[in-house]
Amino acid sequence: MGEPLQIQVNGTRHFVAADPETPLLWVLREDLGLTGTKYGCGEGACGACSVLVGGNLRRSCQVPLRAAAGKAITTIEGLEQNGRLHPVQQAFLDAGAFQCACCTSGMIVAGVALLGQFPSPSPQQITQFLQGNICRCGTYPRIADAIARAAEAMRKARP
Amino acid sequence: MSEPRDTFVPEPERFEFTAAPVHHFDWTRRDFFKITGSGVAVILAVPRGADAQESGRGREFGHALPQEISAWLHIGEDGAVTVFTGKVEVGQNIRTSLAQSVADELRVPFESVRMVMGDTARTPWDMGTFGSRSTPTMAPQLRRAASALRDLLVELAAKRWNLAPGGLKANAARVADPASGRSATYAELASGQKLAQTIPAEDPVTPASQWTVTGQPLPKVYGRAFVTGRHQYTPDIRPEGVLCGKVLRAPAFGATLVSLDSREAQAMPGVTVVRDGDFVGVAAPRWRDAERALAALRAEWKTMPQPSRSEIFTYLKNNVEPGGERNARRETGSVDSALAAAPHRLAETYTVSYIAHAPLEPRAALAEWKDGSLTVWTGSQRPFAVRDELAAAFHLPEDRVRVIVPDTGSAYGGKHTGEAAVEAARIARAANRPVSLLWTREEEFTWAYFRPAGVIEVKSAATQDGRLLAWEFHNYNSGAAGIGTPYAVENQRVEYHPVRSPLRQGSYRALAATANHFARESHMDELARAVGMDPLEFRLKNLTDERLRAAFQAAAKAFGWPGKKERPGQGFGLGGGVEKAGYVATCAEVRVDRASAEVRVERVVTAFECGAIVNPDGLRNQVMGANIMGLGGALFEAVEFENGRVTNPRFSEYRVPRFQDVPQMDVVLLDRKDLPSAGAGECPIVGLAPAVANAIFDATGARLRALPLVPNGLKGLPL
């Protein structure tokens, strides 16, 4: 197993003694108890396990622990700050953009990444960017709406 | 025209309605208040036959049964209202909408109502959450209980003030005496009480026109827990010392285990291997360890040749179950002579493929044994059936098994059974530790059950001016739900032919109604073209059901039917019907690009009527979701299988609808406050596939009679 690897998740450093090939998804869920990140397919095809690694959107089931080591990782649990929801989380609530909500963590994290890249996304940019995230309940129109609302809220909040 | 409440019999394709457990509800006041704490409660007893779902026993319909409890409602000393029901939340928003009904009737703020759901140790027995039954049955029952509880609180206040209850008013969680200005909160009235009253389940007392909380677009309860990732689905519950469980799967359906060498796996640190007949499971500290242990097992299996997808429709036609004709055969008039004499005749065959539910949360369970008792958390639509499965599998009395269903990552009819629960419990018993088991996506796509494939043969006849004369409809295997035509036709023969399916099959959103509506509404379109009529006009000419007429007219109006073609490759189609007491009509616009061979659904308009609307916001979500889910089965979803193996068991190989597939969508909700509320999870899906097929015909002249319609775009189509 070798030396424990250091990862930084939501601003906290952890030392993880696990096989360095373990997908980050399972490290988050099993070693760190961060179960907001979901398993959906294990092949990077559904987006349920989306996290930010070094600010970039990644499927945590496809990122081995060794590749995440030393990088700043943000999961769904890290978006709320001091009891205040991230604008994307708030927009999902406001738009009622979930049904069973199993895809919601991944959708919100992907939405955060999207707005980092395109602060004022067009509807086409939203659908293209989120093409890798599956919502089996078919809540896509409201998810797109929530992201547009969040973009608007974030624009207004900027000085 | 509401469904009579005492005639609900589950359709045969609802998966495995064989379990007929014996239940005893020896609830005493003491048991009851142990669960709820002191306060005032109303227990709802359902006499036999008053409501089959909540009191029925599958095959035991017609036998004498004791009065049984369907739900109860409790108000505590702190004024908290708790509702106990065996229904479960799987994304359909029933937790919210049932709480609305209770808040309305009890006259308390919506926020003060807490729902305890799907816990076999704390909630009354329930057949399951399916069949669009929660809204039409459980909601009115809870309303009745809430109104009785309100009366009870008024009586308590009357006693306290030495007044007649008649003059008192209950409102905003308080009973008031308008004459004296005195008032007492429900909490004050419940304080120090251990009062429980049993009432029969009867119709609700407040008409929909006077609802205040119900009918409002309230947001989903616990929304914040979902957007922060804090909600714990079954796989997220991780007690101290929990192990990861995995099951060794056979290489093909029906394979038997010949030999197993587990020495290498067993030598791995922290690994337990259990073999029990053909069942082989492992437990390991973590997911990756369990994967490794599984990979280290050396197993030899014996397989048998089995049909493949390429031959499935022939297989279904040739393997009708003997004696199956007694199922759902309906005949009126004389089809044969009407067909022989008619000016317009048509005979066509339609097929539907097996498709998978693919809930984003695969089957999952956490099992924990303690002192010979078993507790299992699992995502299921039928917690009590899973409890019975577990009790049978482990030879335990029911009271030693508890099943708890956390709000679950969707089901769509796919989670009626308890495989993961039984597997986790078996491994946990061997490992002597709690075991969490989560099916991989490949397991979910292979070892769950599917929406049945089917062959549907339709023969019809119409007059010169487009009146239906004859209708003959045979469904092989896919099921009887939605098999009857809503159109007025004197001469009919309608029959469902059960087949021993080579793949495991069961319930799916709207069951066979998706298949039967696809065939019927496609055929109606074909017949309309044959007599030279507009498809809407043709339907309306043959339709007397006012509610369905209204749905068609509303959808057509919002869509701008018949539409005007402005671009090459454009086409318009419609489809609709009655299912689970809901009325739906869907119009679709497609665009076909011959250069790229792409078929795209551009626009969908759905008009839906399900009586008095309980929560318009949740309802819109369900109608939109049903249409988007329906797009997959209509356009490209199919389980590919060959000789007992599913060959596309991944999201990278089994295409489900994604963002770029989503059309522009409009939902028209018809609110009928004068009619009882019906469920809405299933019906809205049935119009989509035929509307799309009819639109593709309109665009291309190609009549596609197989679902999925265009798995490879236009490639290979008769154009």
Which member of A77, A89, A96 has the closest CB to residue B220? A96
Enter the pTM of the model. Answer: 0.95
Question: Is residue B55's pLDDT more than 50?
Answer: no
Contact B233, B438 (CB under 8 A): no
Which member of B91, B361, B624 has the closest CB to residue A141? B624
Question: Is residue B372's pLDDT more than 90?
Answer: yes
pLDDT given at position B23: 40
Provide the 3-class DSSP secondary structure of residue B570. strand
Give chain A positions within 8 Å (CB) of B236: 29, 35-36
Which member of A42, A100, A130 has the closest CB to residue B91? A100
Average pLDDT, chain B: 91
pLDDT given at position B361: 98
As a whole number, mean pLDDT of residues B206-234 equals 96
Rg of the Cα trace of chain B?
27
Provide the 3-class DSSP secondary structure of residue B110. helix
As a whole number, mean pLDDT of residues B106-133 equals 93
Q: How far apart are CA B103 and CA B85, in angstroms?
A: 15
pLDDT given at position B24: 39
Question: Is residue A154's pLDDT more than 60?
Answer: yes
Contact B288, B465 (CB under 8 A): no
pLDDT-based confidence at B3, cuts 50/70/90? very low
As a whole number, mean pLDDT of residues B138-147 equals 90
pLDDT given at position B35: 79
Cβ–Cβ gap A36/B92 under 8 Å: no
pLDDT-based confidence at B141, cuts 50/70/90? confident
**Per-residue pLDDT tens for A24-36?**
999 999 999 999 9
Q: Is B173 an 8 Å CB contact of chain A?
A: no
Give chain B positions within 8 Å (CB) of A105: 229
Structure tokens, B1 = 């025209």
Q: Is B409 an 8 Å CB contact of chain A?
A: yes
**Per-residue pLDDT tens for B592-618?**
999 999 999 999 999 999 999 999 999
Q: Which amino acid is at A2?
A: G
As a whole number, mean pLDDT of residues B309-315 equals 97
pLDDT given at position B69: 74
For residue B362, is the peptide bond before it cis, meaning its omega torsion is within 30 degrees of 0?
A: no
pLDDT given at position B325: 59
Q: How far apart are CA B628 and CA A72, in angstroms?
A: 36
As a whole number, mean pLDDT of residues B100-110 equals 96
Q: Comparing A70-84, B1-15, B204-218, B477-491, which segment has the lowest mean pLDDT?
A: B1-15
Distance from CA of A72 to the nearest CA of B (A): 19
Helix A87-95, helix A104-117: angle, nearest 10 = 120
pLDDT-based confidence at B9, cuts 50/70/90? low
pLDDT given at position B104: 94
- Among candidate residues B585, B529, B537, the one with its CA nearest the CA of residue B558: B585
pLDDT-based confidence at B717, cuts 50/70/90? confident
3-state SS of chain A? CCCCEEEEECCEEEEECCCCCCEHHHHHHHHCCCCCCCCCCCCCCCCCCEEEECCEEEEHHHCEHHHHCCCEEECHHHCCECCECCHHHHHHHHHCCCCCCCCHHHHHHHHHHHHHHCCCCCHHHHHHHCCCCCCCCCCHHHHHHHHHHHHHHHHHHCC
Burial call B627-649: b when 16+ CB within 10 Å, e when fewer = bbbbbbbbbbbbbbbeebbbebb
Of B2 and B283, the structure prediction assigns the larger pLDDT to: B283
Give chain B positions within 8 Å (CB) of A31: 286
Which member of B93, B219, B360 has the closest CB to residue A40? B360
Look up residue B259 and give its DSSP letter: E
- Phi, psi at B216, each rounded to 5°: -90, 150
Q: Is A154 an 8 Å CB contact of chain B?
A: no
Question: Is residue B264's pLDDT more than 60?
Answer: yes
Distance from CA of A112 to the nearest CA of B (A): 13
Give chain A positions within 8 Å (CB) of B227: 85, 89-90, 92-93, 98, 101, 104, 108
Question: Is residue B49's pLDDT more than 50?
Answer: no
Q: What percent of chain B has pLDDT over 70?
A: 91
Cβ–Cβ gap A30/B662 under 8 Å: no
Question: Is residue B653's pLDDT more than 90?
Answer: yes
- Phi, psi at B260, each rounded to 5°: -140, 130
**Per-residue pLDDT tens for B464-473?**
999 999 999 9
Q: Is B602 an 8 Å CB contact of chain A?
A: no
Cβ–Cβ gap B360/A79 under 8 Å: no
Q: How far apart are CA B712 and CA B93, in angstroms?
A: 35
Contact B32, B123 (CB under 8 A): no
**Per-residue pLDDT tens for A76-128?**
999 999 999 999 999 999 999 999 999 999 999 999 999 999 999 999 999 99
Which member of B230, B625, B651 has the closest CB to residue A137? B625
Question: Is residue B346's pLDDT more than 80?
Answer: yes
Alpha carbon B387 to chain centroid, angstroms:
19
Cβ–Cβ gap B360/A38 under 8 Å: yes
Residue B547: how many CB atoms within 10 A of its CB? Answer: 18
**Per-residue pLDDT tens for B664-714?**
999 999 999 999 999 999 999 999 999 999 999 999 999 999 999 999 999
Structure tokens, A127 = 């659908």
As a whole number, mean pLDDT of residues B645-657 equals 98
Give chain A positions within 8 Å (CB) of B231: 101
Structure tokens, B394 = 């482990």
Distance from CA of B115 to the nearest CA of A (A): 17
In chain A, whose CA is at the least distance from the CA of B218? A96
In chain B, whose CA is at the least distance from the CA of A37? B229
Question: Is residue B508's pLDDT more than 80?
Answer: yes
Q: Tokens 């738009």 correspond to what residue? A: A95
- Chain A to chain B Cβ contacts (< 8 Å): 173
As a whole number, mean pLDDT of residues B122-127 equals 88
Cβ–Cβ gap A100/B359 under 8 Å: yes
Distance from CA of A97 to the nearest CA of B (A): 8
Sign of CA dihedral A112, A114, A118, A123: negative
pLDDT given at position B197: 83
Measured between alpha carbons, how far is residue B550 from residues B30, B366, B540, B576, B613 in Å?
A: 52, 48, 10, 11, 16
Contact B89, B95 (CB under 8 A): yes
Q: How far apart are CA B523 and CA B63, in angstroms?
A: 42
As a whole number, mean pLDDT of residues A44-71 equals 97
Q: Is B475 an 8 Å CB contact of chain A?
A: no
As a whole number, mean pLDDT of residues B554-580 equals 97
pLDDT-based confidence at B28, cuts 50/70/90? low
Residue B527 falls in which region: left (phi positive, over 0), alpha (psi -120 to 50) or beta: alpha
Q: Which amino acid is at B513?
A: A
Contact B549, B543 (CB under 8 A): yes
- Among candidate residues B656, B652, B649, the one with its CA nearest the CA of residue B447: B649
pLDDT-based confidence at A55, cuts 50/70/90? very high
pLDDT given at position B501: 92
As a whole number, mean pLDDT of residues A134-146 equals 98
Cβ–Cβ gap A89/B228 under 8 Å: yes
Q: Is A76 an 8 Å CB contact of chain B?
A: yes
Question: Is residue B516's pLDDT more than 90?
Answer: yes
Give chain A positions within 8 Å (CB) of B288: 18-19, 21-23, 26
Cβ–Cβ gap A100/B219 under 8 Å: no
Touching B: A residues 114-143, CB under 8 Å: 126-128, 130-142
Q: How far apart are CA B154 and CA B706, in angstroms?
A: 61
pLDDT given at position B126: 87
Q: Is A19 an 8 Å CB contact of chain B?
A: yes
Question: Is residue B427's pLDDT more than 50?
Answer: yes
Cβ–Cβ gap A45/B650 under 8 Å: yes
